[in-house]
Amino acid sequence: MSCCIRVPALRLEQICADHLGLRDIRGLSKLSPLDLGKLRLFLKGLKVVVALPGHNKRHKTIKDVIRNVGSYTFDKGGERITVAVSALLFCDSMRH
């Protein structure tokens, strides 16, 4: 037997803030370890639609919630790159 919940079609930041009972999304930047754990349990496995201007919508599954994800590194084309740098490069390429 499988089960699913449907969350409202809002920005993910707002859904997270609502789930934790925060007044606004700025509170997400300073979560306690307990709240981060609650958020991880809530989001892990959640299927989301990623909609970026100029691109087709893509369905993705949230695998984990990581504190300070901007410092997370991965290999891209044989070079180590951070998530933050990758996002900046992606946004810059969309402007041209």
| Predicted TM-score (pTM) of this structure | 0.66
pLDDT band at 85 (very low <50, low <70, confident <90, very high): low
Helices first, then strands: H and E counts in the chain: 3, 4
pLDDT band at 5 (very low <50, low <70, confident <90, very high): low
Query: How far, in whole angstroms, is CA 3 from its chain's centroid?
Result: 22
Q: How many CB atoms lie within 10 A of CB 89?
A: 12
- Element spanning 33, H or E: helix 33-43
Task: Label each residue of 78-92 as H, E or C.
Answer: CEEEEHHHHHHHHHH
- For residue range 23-68, list pLDDT tens digits in order: 988 898 888 999 999 999 999 988 888 877 787 888 888 888 877 7
